[in-house]
Structure 1
Amino acid sequence: MEKTQNRYEAASVEELRHAGRKIVTLKGMEIGVFALGEQFMAWRNICPHAGAPVCEGPVCGTRLPSLVYEYKYGKDKEIVRCPWHGWEFDLWTGQHLVDEKVKLRGYKVEVEDGLVYVVM
């Protein structure tokens, strides 16, 4: 038997592009919906480390691997940093930047008629 999935309106495309992100409550869960260029990503607003509202943290870049005394900055506006303990997650993949076993829970996003939907 095929499981039926529901989609829920999260925001308008224009609103997300202007604000960069929006925290919405869908099915009793907080979901962070982020605009990344022309694409949109949705992540559960719970940090896997300690349950913090990770999607409310700063959207920024990070230091890239580099030589000693060399600091390269990259992935600007592609990283969300947990507001409690500073854990960093890639907004494209949900992957923790250091521990490959740690990842945010993501949801499929669809865009139709200028609206962004989260599929759950």
Structure 2
Amino acid sequence: MAIPEREEILVGDAAELVEGKFKIIKQGTLNIGVTRLRDGTIRAVRNRCPHKGAAICKGIIGGTWPPSAPGDLAYDREGEILVCPWHGFEYDLKTGDELYRKVPTRLRFYEVIERERKIYLLVARGAADTQDSDASAA
């Protein structure tokens, strides 16, 4: 099986990538949000919620309220959780997993590289997103 050729898509200057905010990259049918996490990790996410197709990068990056003992509330993981703007599903930006409903799908990540203070997406040459990520109904 041949390894597909990959192409680099320029995202922009590394210094311009703001923690907790997505920069949306559209090329052809690809629609990808790129952000920097609190720990400096750069994540590139397909801009489509696996649950119902919302433009997930319009959601909030924050933390979560994990299950705890009765009477105890503990906000945790600030800057690591992406909340879908339609139904509130919470996705882990480190693993792609949905946190509490355990849906059988997860976020799709793309590989990124940083070189000479620039950020690039690495995608298969001619890659296409097979689903429209700008769905408008919940």
State TM-score, norm by structure 1: 0.91
Q: Which residue of 1 aligns with 2:78?
A: 76
Q: 1:93, 1:100 → 2: CA distance? A: 14
Give the alignment partner of residue 103 of structure 1, picking from 101, 106, 109: 106
Q: 1:11, 1:100 → 2: CA distance? A: 33
Give the alignment partner of residue 85 of structure 1, picking from 65, 68, 87: 87
Q: 2:59, 2:94 → 1: CA distance? A: 16
For 1:16-55, what aligned pairs fall within 5 Å after superposition?
16-17=17-18, 20-36=21-37, 37-55=39-57
Q: 2:67, 2:12 → 1: CA distance? A: 36
Aligned-pair CA distance for 1:26: 2.8
Letter in 1 for 2:115: E
Aligned-pair CA distance for 1:117: 0.8
Q: Could you say which structure has the higher strand fraction? A: 1
Q: Which residue of 1 aligns with 2:5?
A: 4
Q: 2:10, 2:95 → 1: CA distance? A: 22
Structure 2: gaps (5+ residues): 124-138
Q: Counterpart of 1:17 in 2: which secondary structure?
A: coil
Q: 1:119, 1:47 → 2: CA distance? A: 21
Q: Is contact 2:10–2:119 with CA below 8 Å preserved after alignment?
A: yes
Q: Counterpart of 2:18 in 1: which secondary structure?
A: helix
Structure 1: gaps (5+ residues): none
Query: Which stretch of the first structure deviates more once superposed, 10-19 or 58-67?
Result: 10-19
Query: Which stretch of the first structure deviates more once superposed, 21-30 or 3-12?
Result: 21-30
Aligned-pair CA distance for 1:18: 6.0
Aligned-pair CA distance for 1:105: 0.9
Query: Which stretch of the first structure deviates more once superposed, 5-14 or 98-107?
Result: 98-107
State TM-score, norm by structure 2: 0.80
Q: How many residues align?
A: 120
Aligned-pair CA distance for 1:27: 3.5
Letter in 2 for 1:111: E
Q: 1:119, 1:86 → 2: CA distance? A: 29
Q: 2:82, 2:19 → 1: CA distance? A: 17
